[in-house]
């Protein structure tokens, strides 16, 4: 690459420099996590029991508010409202690192987030998924709506729910 495109000349948080994506562990360039390539859709919460089983089966579960930053272009930017993150299950993650990991997911898995948002500017969702090396992968997403009584019931019951021991 020409020297003008060398990202080492810029501060690490400079937004105009795009670091090379590298899978080489010894590479000097900044590593960028890869998207999970899941084109996820919103789940229909059939029963509270089914939702509780899903929460047990995943590494983490959170209730979050997602905001669309940019609605004027075809590229959508999404933000996590940090004041509206309710951790239901943190799994291997520290509670304090969950918002940053979820923002990373919003930035990387744009197709998944776009499908979940369904053209709205903001929404509250219960999402659950797994932790894979340096990123979170969302497996299930439920829209938090008044009419969805099963989801509300499952989240209330989650505080006292005991997951069955996983055979392994």
Q: Is the separation of the CB atoms in 125 and 116 below 8 Å?
A: yes
pLDDT digits (tens, 9 = 90+) for 67-121: 988 766 555 688 999 889 999 999 999 989 999 999 999 888 878 888 888 878 8
Q: Which domains does the chain have, with CATH numbers?
A: 1-32 (no CATH), 34-158 (2.40.50)
Give the pair of three-digit tokens for residue 143: 């829209």
By CB atoms closer than 10 A (0-12, 13-18, 19+), residue 68 is: middle
pLDDT digits (tens, 9 = 90+) for 124-151: 999 999 998 878 899 999 999 988 999 9
> Which string of b and e fits 80-105 if b means at least 16 CB within 10 Å?
beeeebebbbbeebeeeebbebbbbb
By CB atoms closer than 10 A (0-12, 13-18, 19+), residue 37 is: exposed
- Of residues 140 and 1, more confidence is placed in 140
pLDDT digits (tens, 9 = 90+) for 10-33: 665 555 555 554 444 444 444 444
């Amino acid at each position: 690459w020409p020297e003008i495109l060398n990202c080492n000349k810029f501060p690490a948080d400079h937004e105009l420099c795009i670091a090379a994506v590298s899978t080489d562990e010894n590479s000097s360039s900044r590593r960028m996590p890869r998207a999970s390539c899941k084109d996820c859709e919103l789940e229909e919460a059939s029963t509270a029991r089914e939702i509780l089983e899903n929460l047990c089966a995943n590494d983490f579960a959170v209730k979050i508010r997602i905001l669309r930053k940019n609605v004027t272009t075809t590229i959508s930017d999404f933000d996590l409202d940090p004041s509206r993150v309710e951790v239901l299950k943190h799994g291997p993650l520290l509670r304090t690192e969950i918002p940053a990991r979820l923002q990373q997911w919003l930035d990387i898995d744009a197709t998944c987030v776009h499908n979940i948002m369904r053209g709205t500017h903001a929404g509250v969702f219960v999402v659950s998924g797994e932790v894979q090396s340096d990123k979170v992968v969302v497996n299930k997403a439920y829209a938090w709506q008044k009419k969805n009584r099963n989801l509300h019931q499952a989240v209330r019951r989650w505080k006292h729910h005991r997951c069955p021991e996983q055979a392994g």
